[in-house]
Amino acid sequence: MDFELDDAQRAIVEAVDVLLERHAGPARAIELGAKGEYDGALHGALRESGFLELACGEGTGPLEAALLVECAARAGALCSVAASALVAPLVLGRPGDGPLALVESGSTAPIRYAAHAHAALVLDGDRARLVPLPDGSATPVASTFGYPMGRFEVGALSEGDDLGAGSGDRLRDAWRLALAVELAGSMAGALETTLTYVKERRQFGRAIGSFQGVQHRLARCHIQVQGSRWLALEAAHGGGATEASAAGAAYAAEAAGRVFAETHQFSGAMGFTREHDLHVWSMRLQALRLELDGAAGHERALAEARWA
């Protein structure tokens, strides 16, 4: 057991961060977000550098892919790296090639990246399908929740390759794992921005972060962000097993509710404006914490897996 990255993992994280430094970040997220666009350039850069293959690489696996996804979420990346680099490998045995959407069959709700995805992994009871998406398969939806959203018509995703028995559970587990990791990375981004803010922002002659009431609540957030991260990475280490993935997703979805509320509260009026970066991460937390029935859905999955 070792809670530190080994040399190879550290090298991966550093290389990913260098790439994200160049291709992602809140300013880019805000610019793309305003136009409802997908970060095709970032997706391309990640693919070319081989990072999307980490989950099935030589000497690397889902844990390394999870580290990539975490870094990307923390950098406010706007591409389907979680689905492509973590979910697809666990479900298909290979990375998703282009932008990939994750969809529950029959859903008419807004779906992340739906209008930009080249394919969708569709969860339909105990089966999963890989459905290619020609242009225009989904309609873009106006949404303030940090991702370009689209919506499918009922029945639009009924074709495609059936991935066989057990594929539904595989997809559910991998999806939950991905949510846990993305939530952990996005919470870290929201909290970091807020910490910078409360150290700089002065009221009553002192930094607002120096008030004990503020410190206690941000400390609590920090502990939960760390908890989310470890549970998510542990689940990734175990290859996205049902219980661990559900536990990671449930914990992170609950934590994200708190982290959202507290980071906004301590960012004051500034955090409610679009000129401040917080929303890049905070609004995504809300989108992520609702998928697959949110914490309640993940908790039910955990209970069923353990005590069914």
Partner 1 sequence: MNFAFSEEEEAFRAEVVAFLEDWRDLDAFFGQGHHWPRVKQLFQAMGARGWLSLGWPESEGGLGKPLTWEYILWDEVGYARAARNPLASGIVAKTLVRYGSEDQKRRWLGPIRSGELHFSLGYSEPEAGSDLASARCRAERHGDVYRITGEKCWQSYAQDMDLLWLLARTGTQESRGAGLSLFVVPLDAPGVTVGPLPTLDGDQLNEIHLDGAEVPVDARVGPEDGAWKIMAEALADERHIQFPPKRVRRDLEDLVDWVRENGRGADPAVRSTLGDLAVQVEEAEVQGLIVLDALRKGRPGIVEAAANKVVHTVVCQNVARAALEIAGPAALADDCGLNTLWRQSIWETIGGGTSEIMRGVVAKQALGLSGRR
Residues that bind ligand FAD in the complex, under the rule CB under 6 A: 201, 203-204, 208, 211, 213-214, 265-266, 268-269, 272
Which of 37, 161, 210, 272 touches partner 1 by CB under 8 A? 272
Interface with partner 1, residue 219, by CB under 8 A = no
User: Which pair of tokens denotes residue 255?
Assistant: 């934590």
Give helix 242-266 / helix 212-237 axis angle, nearest 10°: 160
Question: In this structure, what are the phi and psi dihedrals at residue 51, rounded to the nearest 5 degrees?
Answer: -65, -25
# chain residues binding partner 1, by CB under 8 A: 38
CB-wise, 144 or 158, nearer to partner 1? 144
| Smallest distance, partner 1 to C-beta of residue 235, A | 22
Q: DSSP letters of 104-161?
A: ETT--S-EETTTT-SEEEEEETTEEEEEE--TTSSEEE---SSS-EEEPPTTTT--SE
Q: Which of 182, 178, 191 is nearest to 72 (CA)?
A: 182
| Smallest distance, ligand FAD to C-beta of residue 228, A | 23
| Smallest distance, partner 1 to C-beta of residue 141, A | 5
Interface with partner 1, residue 107, by CB under 8 A = yes
Which of 196, 216, 273, 304 touches partner 1 by CB under 8 A? 273
CB-wise, 96 or 271, nearer to partner 1? 271
127 binds, among partner 1, ligand FAD, none (CB under 5 to 8 A by kind): none
Q: Which stretch binds partner 1 (CB under 8 A): 20-28, 187-195, 197-205, 224-232?
A: 197-205
Give helix 167-200 / helix 294-307 axis angle, nearest 10°: 130
| Smallest distance, ligand FAD to C-beta of residue 277, A | 16
- H or E element at residue 199: helix 167-200
Interface with partner 1, residue 124, by CB under 8 A = no
DSSP symbol at 85: I
How far apart CA 207 and CA 189 sit, in angstroms, is 21
Query: What binding mask, one character per residue, do residues 126-145 give for partner 1 by CB under 8 A, x or -?
Result: ---------------xxxxx
Interface with partner 1, residue 308, by CB under 8 A = no
CB-wise, 151 or 201, nearer to ligand FAD? 201
Interface with partner 1, residue 207, by CB under 8 A = no
Q: Which of 281, 228, 283 is nearest to 255 (CA)?
A: 228
As a dihedral over the C-alpha atoms of residue 138, residue 139, residue 145, residue 147, rounded to 10 degrees, the angle is 50
User: Which pair of tokens denotes residue 136?
Assistant: 């225009």
Interface with partner 1, residue 27, by CB under 8 A = no
DSSP-assigned beta bridge partners for residue 206:
203
| Smallest distance, partner 1 to C-beta of residue 151, A | 8
φ/ψ region of 165 (left if φ > 0, alpha if ψ in -120 to 50, else beta) reads beta
DSSP symbol at 98: S
| Smallest distance, ligand FAD to C-beta of residue 204, A | 5
The residues binding partner 1 (CB under 8 A) are 107-111, 141-145, 149, 151, 202-205, 211, 213-214, 257, 261, 264-265, 268-269, 272-275, 279, 283, 286-287, 290-291, 293-294, 296
